Chains A and B, each alone.
Chain A
Amino acid sequence: LAKTTQPISMDSYEGQEVNITCSHNNIATNDYITWYQQFPSQGPRFIIQGYKTKVTNEVASLFIPADRKSSTLSLPRVSLSDTAVYYCLVGAPGGNKLVFGAGTILRVKS
């Protein structure tokens, strides 16, 4: 399983763009990169998933360079409600055992 490394925490202000980078140096050829968000006392929630280049949905963008050894989750114009823990997961073939790391605690201030 590819191990992921993320910053422990980040602080931002409302209205700013936030970029959270995840390193996954030993990502396998078939692995996808998936980001989840978790609020206190709630289950993780799927945000976005990608394999290469750029993926965008209504919530976020995901940038993946050509070597795929890292990825960046971009949250445009964050609000207080975006305060949460963000997890980067790299899926093993078969996906039986998605492993959550420590995640990045994002604090958005007013």
Chain B
Amino acid sequence: EPEVTQTPSHQVTQMGQEVILRCVPISNHLYFYWYRQILGQKVEFLVSFYNNEISEKSEIFDDQFSVERPDGSNFTLKIRSTKLEDSAMYFCASSTRTASLSTNEKLFFGSGTQLSVL
């Protein structure tokens, strides 16, 4: 079964540093997402991405965050200046959704990147 791949699995960084989390979505999927989960809390939506543009973003996704699809396969999340509260598991997902409106999409999640900000 095709899967979403995320690297690295763990990332430790100092407060104020920039981090880039990488994801390889499933090859024929068009919609991509980042979610995060702080330890013991809910899975929170960050951003959705389609056709090289942000489709929707949450309040969490402020100016410190950016996403990019630099080539045909990778999808990245950059945090410009990390804060202690950015420590979380970050999940990338890709979707079966097509260009037309679809309410029955299925998300496929990667295994996540555990980000620890010290």
Q: Bound state CA distance, A91 and B95, in angstroms?
A: 13
Set A51, A91, A97, A100: member contacting B43, Cβ < 8 A: A100
Per DSSP, chain A at the interface is loop
Closest to B91 in A: A43
- Size of the B side of the interface (Cβ < 8 Å), in residues, is 28
Interface residues of A in 3-52 (CB under 8 A from B): 30-32, 34, 36, 38, 41-46, 49, 51
**Chain B contact residues, CB within 8 Å of chain A:** 4, 35, 42-45, 48, 55-56, 58, 89, 91, 93, 95, 97, 101-112, 114
Q: Which residues of B contact A96 (CB under 8 A)?
A: 48, 55-56
Set A42, A51, A91, A100: member contacting B112, Cβ < 8 A: A42
**Chain A contact residues, CB within 8 Å of chain B:** 30-32, 34, 36, 38, 41-46, 49, 51, 87, 91-103
Most chain B CB atoms below 10 A, which of A38, A43, A97: A43
Tell whether, in the assembled complex, residue B56 and residue A44 are in contact, meaning their CB atoms are under 8 Å apart: no
